[in-house]
Structures are given as structure tokens and as C-alpha cells.
A = this chain, B = another copy of it.
Amino acid sequence: MKLILAILSNDDSPVASNALNKNGFSVTKLATTGGFLRAGNTTLIIGCEDEKVEAAIDIIKEYSSKRTEIVPSTASYDIGRYASFPVEVTVGGATIFVLDVAQFLKV
């Protein structure tokens, strides 16, 4: 049995949790702030059998890996004049810890 602690951005957390649930993983969410990622992240606690850790990590990766997105941006280059141009921003990213579980029970 393993305990997975995954810290991901608030934006990715709902989709990732949902995908984990659909694949049979139980997920508990902790509200977290700061640290590994920019402000606004969530820590997911997932308990699973050793042989399912890789599947859980693959799902987390799929929905929360660091990636770039092109967003519209605007800059003023003179009083009252603006230029609109696309900017590449990095979003997402997750930090994942896998811990051994000495004992696990549901009561």
C-alpha cells in the first residue's frame, strides 16, 4: 500500500481528481497555499496498492503537467494607444510524493 501526496494547481485539481475517481482511486483534497507552485494549489491524498501507483501518477501527469499556453495580452505603447499580442505563460505543474504505508484500514 502506498500513500500519494500530489500538490497541484487549483485549476488542474478538479479535473485530475475527477479522472482519478473515474479510474477507481479515492481522493481526499487538502486546501494548500504557496510553495511548490504559484499561489493557489491543492494537495491530493490518494491511497492505493503498490501496483496502481504508476496508473495514478500517469493520470495526475496527464491533467496537471507543466505546459505553456498562449494568452492574449495588451500593452500600451503611447497614451491611449494599445497593442494586442499573444504571450506564452507556463501553467500547471505538480509535485508528487509517494510514501510507504505501514498499515492501512477502512473502518
Contacts and interface: CB of A to CB of B under 8 A. Distances in A.
A52 interface: no
B30 A7 contact: no
Interface of A: 1-3, 5, 7, 17, 26-36, 41, 43, 45, 47, 53, 57, 60-61, 64-66, 93-107
B28 A31 contact: no
Nearest to A41: B28
Contacts of A27: 34-35
Contacts of A103: 53, 96-98
B66 A99 contact: no
10 contacts: A3-B99, A26-B95, A28-B41, A28-B43, A31-B31, A53-B103, A57-B105, A97-B103, A98-B101, A98-B103
